[in-house]
Amino acid sequence: MAFQNDLNQSFSQDLRIIVGLGNPGKKYISTRHNIGFMTIDRLAEQCEIACNKKKFEAIIGEGFIGEKKILISKPQTYVNLSGVSVGKIVAYYGCPLNRIMVVCDDLNLPVGKIRIREKGSSGGHNGLESIAHYVGSGFPRLRIGIGQPVVKDAKEYVLTHFTEDEKEIINQAIDKACHAIDTWVTTGIESCMNVFN
């Protein structure tokens, strides 16, 4: 169910923001680095949110999880500059960082494993590093494992597609991530971490 397109700062007290990281452009669709985009797309589908409005250098959508207002976002700045977009969102809504969940890939986790943290370091992820640079590091993050490269350089590996054997694992991981986001929005970060970590 959509609500008025023009959210404003009066919503910021209750608003939850979910940002999925990825690279714009057809050639990056469904690559490992775009797992954040894939999660946002699934969440939009499940919540019946049209994620098609361009604002804050991102593609955004507005809707609800339960009675909680949410804004979903896919920054269009490329992963390494994600903080530019997130910084604009934070500046506009004045939203506390603990009400922003960032979804991204993680090389250090097995394919399909998810991990949720209340805040912390970037762990070497350039997208998280960029967001921390612009707004600080006190935002929750949901990482989805994409596995480690055996031969390829990491920068090349994150731009590869999942293998046929991995696709079903990733599909299940995205559903689990959406369930975790629902839990975070409705019951908070501690409950979310207790259930999904």
Catalytically active residues, by annotation: 33
Pairing of strands 114-117, 141-145: antiparallel
DSSP state of 26: G
Q: Whole-angstrom Cα distance, residue 195 to residue 197?
A: 6
Identify whether the C-beta of residue 83 lies closer than 8 Å to the C-beta of residue 141: no
Hey, what are 120's tokens?
């912390």
> Helices (H) and strands (E) in the chain — how many of each?
6, 7
- 11 Cβ contact list (under 8 Å, min separation 6): 69, 93
Q: Residue 160's Cα: distance from chain center in Å?
A: 19
